[in-house]
A and B are shown apart, each in its own frame.
Chain A
Amino acid sequence: MSRRLLFFLPLATLALMAGFFAWSLLAGRDPASIGSVLVGRPAPRLDVKALRDGEPPLTDGLLKTGKPAIVNFFASWCTPCLAEHPLFARLTERDGAVIIGIAWKNKPEEARAWLKRLGDPYKFAGADLEGRAGLDWGLSGVPETYLIDGQGIVRRHFRGPITERDVNETILPFLKGAK
């Protein structure tokens, strides 16, 4: 009898594996997301010098205004930042989004020249030359973008450039829904 049971072993293994596969498909998990510890928590400390001359430094107060904000880390030397740049311009002009741009490990004069050349979509712009703010915010590189709600809670964290699809499917609904 035990010999006969042995012949059922492959079938049992398959059933076990298939169960896991179905579970995974039905749960709708995204294996690609490495996650972000920040999502659902208050935004990290914001304390950076202003990028543009004669503006006050950027502080935590900017993130708890009752209105949603977008925080974007960029650099003039980063090619993907170039790719996502027009989307931010459109979010500011057409959709009236509040975007806080932080130039990460970037000489202020180079970041300013870059914004002058391509257009400046940032309501507030900061300069994080040493990358200290980047450490606080758990940056893995640039560009990275955070969606912050009116209470200063991080709701979304994009690693890498945002796309048209992100804007339409995530950012715009967020701006409409968040208070």
Chain B
Amino acid sequence: MVAELGHFALILALAVALVQGTLPLLGAARGDDRLMALGRTAALTQAFLVIVAFGALTQAYVTSDFSVANVVANSHSAKPLIYKISGVWGNHEGSMLLWALILALFGAAVAIFGAGLPDTLRSRVLAIQALIGVGFLAFLLFTSNPFERVSPAPLDGNGLNPLLQDPGLAFHPPLLYLGYVGFSVTYAFAIAALLEGRVDAAWARWVRPWTLAAWCFLTLGIALGSWWAYYILGWGGFWFWDPVENASLMPWLAGTALLHSAIVVEKRDALKSWTVLLAILAFSLSLLGTFLVRSGVLTSVHAFAQDPARGMFILAFLLFVTGGGLALYAWRAPRLQGGGLFQPVSREGALILNNLLLCTLAATVLLGTLYPLFLDLLTGNKVSVGPPFFNATFVPITAPLFAALCVGPYLGWKRAELWPALMHLRIAFIAAVIAAIVAATAIDGRATLAALAFGFGVWLIAGSLLEFAGRLRVGRAPLAETLRRLRATPRSALGMTIAHAALGVVVLGAVATAAWNTELIKTMRPGDTAAFAGFDVKLDRVENLQGPNYIAERATLTLSVGGRPYTVLMPERRLFTVQRRQVAETAIHTNFLRDIYATLGESEAQNGWVIRLYYNPLAPWIWLGAALCALGGFVSLSDRRLRIGAPQRGKGRTRTVAQPAE
């Protein structure tokens, strides 16, 4: 009964979405207030109906209702409650329902918080949002109905994909979807602006909080995914340039560019058509990622439900959304007239450089991800594009990006002097050079590039903090004055400082882990000992374990320093027989400055087991930095100026004093 209720709610939601996607659009074109007002009511109703549907499926999972086919295929009565709940989106149908839910919730949020928007703009945004919803709801109802019943109902279910029974992966998809789907609002704003033929400072202010929210969630989602890959794949790495990872990185890069270019639109009334294009691309790349992950056109280390038939549907939908958006762009964007003129050396110039570099990065990732597909189809050659390509292309592009990042906030709008800005940063520069020299001499003389990158990490942190300290006049004014300035500082400026410095923290963690890790690969028998990174490692034993749906071997490694026991690591290797998948359960000991990371490898004939140990300096900083980055975004989001609906459309005030580039 509850499942039918959910199914029925989903059908109603589709009907409501169809109304919401058409009538307010018509109302906006005709200036009919009643039709436009329908948009808000419909958005709230649609959100309510999808919540009911999602609640119904969750109920079926929590109570283990095995008359629902989806529950049978993906759940089991003996599963912990958290995995029963995460099982709702741990499968294709459920995850699509989660997409639809988040989409509808964002629509409702626009309806609630968008009271200050002009009626026509709000109606159009809600209608576009609903049209995207129509696609997802139709996809659910016609190809992936999560409420299908089975008769007779089996006694128990098949259980969730074992890889997904993990706390990291339970919350990874919802965060990622909040990011992906959040960009649907920016997309809707872009399309609405093209329909209205008007992009101005007020529009940029309205779009910004949505972009920022989506970007924060996406940042957290990517970080959680990377952390999961770090401890589950057992290769000691944290980013593998795998198609699935790249799929989430591309919208992040485009979204980051969008965040920055929207500032130029807001403050200087320039870069309009470019910003609109980025808003379309950020969401399109999110859809492209979904398509790549689910259609099976690319192979990946991350298993996911792949089905070419569904691939066709998502491709058609991608073409409709992106193709429609870009066609409208090609038609209407040339009419958007740019405003303010500026010199190359200026805040605008710095933000354009930021955009060029970020978009080049996104294009590089896209090319590297799709190249194997193109080559295979054209020539039949199988290649994989891996870290060497991305390292070779990312280093020369990120270096100027990082170098300019600290300088940009010192440049004024319209025209600025480069030299005074650089003089402000001399302390950061000296700190960076010292860090690079120390890294090159004291840590590892051969890794010159890593030392340089380490210097960049310090430059980002020092430069960002220095700019903030300068803003507060730390040391140059009485403490009371500094505190007064701290209170008066806009949250967006504080958020910018946190996010920029956090990027430095990520760079330090990534460089140290990748370049200066110590690795020991040794075939050991029980009783064998080895010396590793100052520890004495002893393999005590390897046991066979029989899990519920896997067979496993578990090693017990004792680490001691100078005879005193330090810690015990127990890595496992599990073979899930049905899925034909091996999963390494790594054992990690962390103290937030370094990780000791152990995995159990293949057993090698009679010689024992391959034990791999990694000493990863600063590894936890990668995820700590990413979390700080998102925190910076949230702080900026809480800025009064960005409160949704607060700004009124008027003549954009342009201030020439240094403004936060957020």
Contacts and interface: CB of A to CB of B under 8 A. Distances in A.
A20 B333 CA distance: 27
Nearest to A78: B603
Interface string B593-615: 00000000011111000000000
Contacts of B551: 79, 82-83
Interface string A1-44: 00110011011001101101111110111011011000000000
27 contacts: A3-B334, A7-B329, A7-B334, A10-B277, A10-B329, A11-B327, A11-B329, A14-B319, A14-B322, A14-B326, A18-B318, A20-B373, A21-B295, A21-B297, A21-B315, A24-B377, A25-B312, A28-B308, A31-B296, A35-B382, A79-B573, A79-B603, A82-B551, A83-B575, A106-B605, A160-B580, A161-B577
Secondary structure of the B side of the interface?
A: helix
Nearest to A80: B575
Interface in B19-39: none
A22 B308 CA distance: 10
A75 interface: yes
B511 interface: no
A17 to B, nearest CB: 7
Contacts of B582: 80
B286 to A, nearest CB: 14
Contacts of B326: 10-11, 14
A95 B337 CA distance: 75
Interface of B: 273, 277, 280-281, 284, 291, 295-299, 308, 311-312, 315, 318-319, 322-323, 326-327, 329-330, 333-334, 370, 372-374, 376-377, 382, 551, 553, 573, 575, 577-578, 580, 582, 602-606
Contacts of A49: none
Given A7-B334, A11-B326, A14-B319, 11 more contacts: A3-B334, A8-B330, A11-B323, A11-B329, A21-B315, A23-B377, A24-B297, A25-B311, A25-B315, A31-B296, A34-B382
A7 B333 contact: yes
B576 to A, nearest CB: 9
A124 B86 CA distance: 48
Interface of A: 3-4, 7-8, 10-11, 14-15, 17-18, 20-25, 27-29, 31-32, 34-35, 75, 77-80, 82-83, 105-107, 110, 141, 160-161, 163-164
Given A32-B299, A82-B551, A18 B319 contact: yes
Nearest to B550: A83
Contact of A10 (B281, B296, B373, B606): B281
Nearest to B284: A14
Given A24-B373, A31-B296, A10 B577 contact: no
A8 B329 CA distance: 8
A78 B606 CA distance: 11
A3 B575 CA distance: 58
Contacts of B580: 80, 160-161, 163
B606 A77 contact: yes
A24 B327 CA distance: 24
Sorted from nearest, which 6 A-B pairs have the closest CB atoms?
A: A31-B299, A11-B326, A32-B299, A7-B330, A83-B577, A24-B297
A139 B33 CA distance: 72
A82 to B, nearest CB: 7
B297 A79 contact: no
Contacts of B327: 11
Given A25-B308, A78-B603, A105-B605, A31 B297 contact: yes
Contacts of A106: 605
A107 B372 CA distance: 41
B377 A27 contact: yes
Contacts of B606: 77, 107, 110
Contacts of B296: 31
Nearest to A104: B605
A39 to B, nearest CB: 14
B587 to A, nearest CB: 19
Nearest to B607: A77
Q: Find the residue from A10, A34, A107 having the highest chain B CB count within 10 A.
A: A10
Nearest to B277: A10
Contacts of A23: 377
A6 B580 CA distance: 49
A153 to B, nearest CB: 21
A21 B291 contact: yes
A80 to B, nearest CB: 6
A77 B311 contact: no
Contacts of A11: 323, 326-327, 329-330
Nearest to B606: A107
A29 B318 CA distance: 21
A145 B355 CA distance: 52
A83 B552 CA distance: 11
Contacts of A82: 551
A32 B333 CA distance: 41
B534 to A, nearest CB: 32
Contacts of B277: 10
Given A10-B326, A10-B329, A25 B297 contact: yes
Contacts of A24: 297, 373, 377
A7 B276 CA distance: 12
B329 A20 contact: no
A77 B318 CA distance: 48
B36 to A, nearest CB: 29
A20 B370 contact: yes
A28 B582 CA distance: 26
B331 to A, nearest CB: 8
A4 B273 CA distance: 12
Contacts of B318: 18
Contacts of B333: 7
A161 B551 CA distance: 14
Contacts of A7: 273, 329-330, 333-334
Q: Give the most central of B296, B318, B573: most A CB within 10 Å.
A: B296
A15 B319 CA distance: 8
Contacts of B605: 75, 77, 105-106
